């Protein structure tokens, strides 16, 4: 049996043609009775034991998944995953603390405390909670703004000469207070947004906006860590164009590069990038990714300690890492007003990154995460972490990828990773004190590869939707030049502005037929489309309202090739001239209403030689004559009217979702096109 080609398959829809009033008359609407205030209060305020338990499970998701945990099947996977993630988290905590501009030991705390609360409150089974480079850099910007080096200068005469030095002990202590207070405030804001159920706010952070922002953040991170690799003295710049000033300062002092740090950083970067590429390429073979950060750190620490790089070559090392825990701190509430704006943007970015990553793995493993509950989970995690001097926690893409790819099933893997970090805090911290900061900086830079590769999204976005591509580029440039907080705000405002522009300037195109089908596409986008002579089909791709009605009018005018009102007015004036010419006897009319004159070849008039009555009496003497005018033929010498090539105009409004009152009123102008075609009848007075 021959199967017809899909190109020639056809379908037929036969139904009654309805107008809206007729449809409403024939189809009765359902009567919706709104609930009274008393009924709504009764529903929302009543509480049975089952409802209380369900609410408790919503707030503590662990009550839902832990009783279902398959210990024999899943625990080994979670154990392997937790150990692998914990080792990476330990090193990333140290490295990302440099971005946050706090002593590196506090990066370990930030990799430990937030996990403890997220374990009970989070809805994602695969997120690895802790520092993230973009968020850490945003925290560092606030820290450097509120606790700059200039605030902690003092005079020293240890060498017999008075000179100004920086009190690093007081400075670091102040920066820890700033970062902890910021984390506490971020937690308050996130918790409030979760309670108020406004998780929808991240919907306004479109993927192109987030892509451009994180790429700009990766560039900012690269610059901030590049100076650590070189170990050159630079000032700490903040605010607009700070990245430009930092780059200028780096190259102005590049002659002071510490060769030992540079070599260590370059070797670390090359080894990490190569091994990470091998991990990605052979992940189907490797049971566990090669923990190259751990290996490099151990080797680099051993070399630095054995060769005494700090003493001989003045290499920059981690120095002191506190062992054990520090007592909880009380946040400095007086700082809230100064950091509230930054806290809001950091909280939103951290939440958006975590939820977007969490949704990817939730979809892959067939479960659902609750956006509002994630706000609550991260809010309480940052409140708890801020009390223990942690900087803001979210999730890191690389750690989460490791936790999932090594077989992690639940947040038990996260708790095991926290235990690994705990071992480093209690017992191993001091062993890492000889580690060069350039090695940690190189590890950070090596982890930015995925973010930099997002630049490849721009050509794809340009092909798919040029507006999205523009949002990506604008947000990236704004975030680089203005700073991450202002750049994010600028990108968000610009993204919302493009929505207005898309609605205000939607596509208005002429449709043509695909030969052999009943498919119609825009003529300007496809080749070999056919248009019926004298017929134009106009498609508008947006709701019509007061902001874009002028665009619709101009689009129709461009497609049909004339202004209906102008042509209609011209014809009205032409009829007045024709009336005068008839009264003066300078135009003759036939009994059929067609007019002509001897001096003009009017194709609308062809005398009938077989009609002797017309030949004897060519003029029709009446007080009122109906004249048929072919406006596209030659007209009398004194009459000039634009020619119109169409006789039918079809509007495809299938994609229009709404009309406002202004649009409905303005659309009446479209009726003018009904009066303007190539042939019309008009009543004029004879003589």
Mean pLDDT (10-residue bins), the chain, 687 residues: 52 76 82 79 75 82 90 89 87 86 90 93 91 88 89 68 76 92 95 87 82 88 88 82 90 91 93 89 80 87 90 85 82 92 90 84 86 92 93 86 84 92 85 87 85 89 91 93 86 90 82 86 87 84 81 81 77 77 70 51 40 39 55 68 77 81 75 58 41
At how many degrees (to 10) do helices 207-230 and 466-482 cross? 30
Structural domain for 643, as ranges: 506-687
Do 681 and 584 meet the contact criterion of CB atoms below 8 Å apart? no
Any domain includes 657: yes
Do 175 and 101 meet the contact criterion of CB atoms below 8 Å apart? yes
Are 516 and 471 in the same domain? no
Where among 499, 523, 556 does a domain terminate? 499
Give the model's pLDDT for residue 343. Answer: 93
Are 288 and 423 in the same domain? yes
Do 220 and 278 meet the contact criterion of CB atoms below 8 Å apart? no
Any domain includes 47: no
Are 683 and 538 in the same domain? yes
Are 641 and 587 in the same domain? yes
Torsion of CA 359, 364, 365, 368, to 10 degrees: 30
Q: Is 184 helix (H, G, I), strand (E, B) or coil?
A: helix
Are 474 and 519 in the same domain? no
How far is Cα 541 from Cα 539, in angstroms, rounded to an integer? Answer: 7
Cα–Cα nearest to 265, from 231, 219, 234 = 231
How many domains in the chain? 2
CB atoms within 10 A of CB 529: 18
Are 238 and 282 in the same domain? yes
CB atoms within 10 A of CB 257: 15
Give the model's pLDDT for residue 675. Answer: 63
Give the model's pLDDT for residue 646. Answer: 77
CA 661 vs. chain centroid, Å, equals 32
Are 551 and 437 in the same domain? no
Are 493 and 522 in the same domain? no
Structure confidence by residue, pLDDT tens digits, 191-245? 999 998 887 777 787 889 888 988 888 898 899 889 889 988 888 777 788 889 9
**Residue labelled with tokens 């590069």:** 257
Any domain includes 459: no
At how many degrees (to 10) do helices 437-446 and 292-307 cross? 160
Are 121 and 190 in the same domain? yes
Cα–Cα nearest to 392, from 97, 608, 23, 27 = 97
Any domain includes 113: yes
């Amino acid at each position: 049996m021959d199967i017809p080609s899909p190109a020639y398959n056809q379908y037929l829809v036969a139904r009654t043609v309805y107008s809206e009033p007729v449809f409403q008359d024939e189809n009765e609407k359902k009567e919706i009775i709104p609930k009274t205030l008393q009924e709504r209060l009764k529903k929302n305020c009543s509480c049975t034991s089952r409802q209380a338990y369900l609410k408790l499970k919503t707030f503590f998701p662990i009550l839902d998944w832990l009783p279902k945990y398959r210990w024999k099947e899943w625990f080994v996977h979670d154990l392997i995953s937790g150990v692998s993630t914990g080792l990476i988290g330990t090193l990333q905590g140290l490295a990302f603390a440099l971005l946050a501009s706090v002593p590196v030991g506090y990066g370990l705390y930030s990799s430990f405390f937030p996990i403890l609360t997220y374990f009970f409150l989070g809805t994602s089974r695969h997120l690895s909670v802790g520092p993230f480079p973009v968020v850490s850099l945003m925290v560092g910007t606030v820290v450097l703004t509120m606790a700059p080096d200039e605030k902690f200068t003092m005079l020293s005469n240890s060498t017999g000469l008075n000179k100004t030095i920086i009190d690093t002990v007081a400075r670091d202590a102040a920066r820890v207070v700033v970062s902890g207070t910021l984390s506490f405030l971020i937690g308050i804001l996130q918790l409030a947004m979760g309670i108020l159920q406004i998780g929808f706010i991240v919907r306004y952070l479109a993927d192109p906006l987030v892509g451009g922002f994180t790429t700009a953040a990766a560039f900012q991170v690269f610059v901030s860590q590049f100076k650590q690799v070189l170990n050159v003295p630079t000032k700490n710049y903040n605010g607009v164009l700070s990245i430009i000033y930092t780059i200028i300062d780096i190259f102005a002092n590049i002659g002071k590069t510490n060769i030992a740090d540079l070599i260590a950083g370059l070797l670390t970067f090359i080894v990490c990038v190569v091994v990470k590429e091998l991990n990605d390429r052979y992940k189907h073979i490797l049971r566990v990714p090669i923990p190259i950060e751990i290996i490099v750190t151990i080797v680099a620490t051993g070399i630095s300690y054995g060769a005494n790089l700090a003493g001989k070559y003045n290499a920059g090392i981690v120095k002191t890492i506190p062992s054990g825990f520090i007592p909880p701190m009380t946040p400095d509430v007086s700082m809230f007003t100064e950091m509230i704006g930054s806290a809001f943007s950091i909280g939103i970015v951290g939440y958006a990154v975590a939820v977007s990553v969490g949704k990817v793995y939730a979809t892959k493993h067939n479960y659902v995460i609750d956006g509002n509950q994630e706000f609550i989970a991260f809010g309480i995690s940052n409140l708890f972490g801020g009390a223990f001097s942690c900087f803001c926690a979210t999730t890191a893409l690389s750690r989460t990828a490791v936790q999932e790819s090594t077989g992690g099933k639940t947040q038990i893997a996260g708790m095991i990773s926290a235990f690994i970090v705990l071992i480093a805090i209690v017992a191993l911290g001091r062993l890492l004190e000889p580690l060069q900061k350039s090695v940690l900086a190189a590890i950070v830079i090596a982890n930015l590869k995925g973010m930099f590769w997002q630049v490849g999204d721009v050509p794809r976005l340009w092909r798919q939707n040029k507006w999205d591509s523009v949002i990506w580029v604008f947000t990236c440039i704004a975030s680089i030049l203005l700073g991450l907080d202002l750049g994010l705000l600028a990108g968000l405002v610009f993204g919302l502005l493009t929505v207005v522009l898309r609605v205000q300037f939607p596509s208005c195109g002429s449709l043509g037929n695909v030969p052999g089908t009943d498919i119609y596409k825009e003529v300007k986008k496809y080749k070999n489309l056919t248009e019926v002579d004298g017929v134009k089909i106009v498609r508008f791709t947006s709701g019509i309202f007061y902001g874009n009605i002028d665009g619709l009018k101009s689009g129709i005018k461009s497609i049909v090739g004339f202004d209906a009102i102008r042509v209609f007015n011209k014809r009205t004036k032409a009829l007045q001239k024709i009336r005068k010419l008839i009264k003066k006897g300078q135009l003759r009319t036939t009994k059929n209403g067609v007019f002509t004159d001897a001096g003009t070849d009017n194709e609308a008039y062809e005398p009938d030689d077989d009609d002797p009555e017309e030949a004897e009496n060519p003029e029709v003497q009446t007080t009122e004559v109906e004249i048929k005018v072919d406006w596209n033929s030659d007209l009398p010498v004194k009459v000039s009217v634009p020619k119109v090539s169409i006789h039918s105009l079809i509007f495809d409004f299938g994609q229009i979702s709404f009309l406002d009152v202004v649009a409905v009123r303005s659309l009446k102008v479209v009726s003018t096109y009904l009066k303007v075609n190539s042939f019309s009848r008009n009543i004029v007075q004879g003589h």
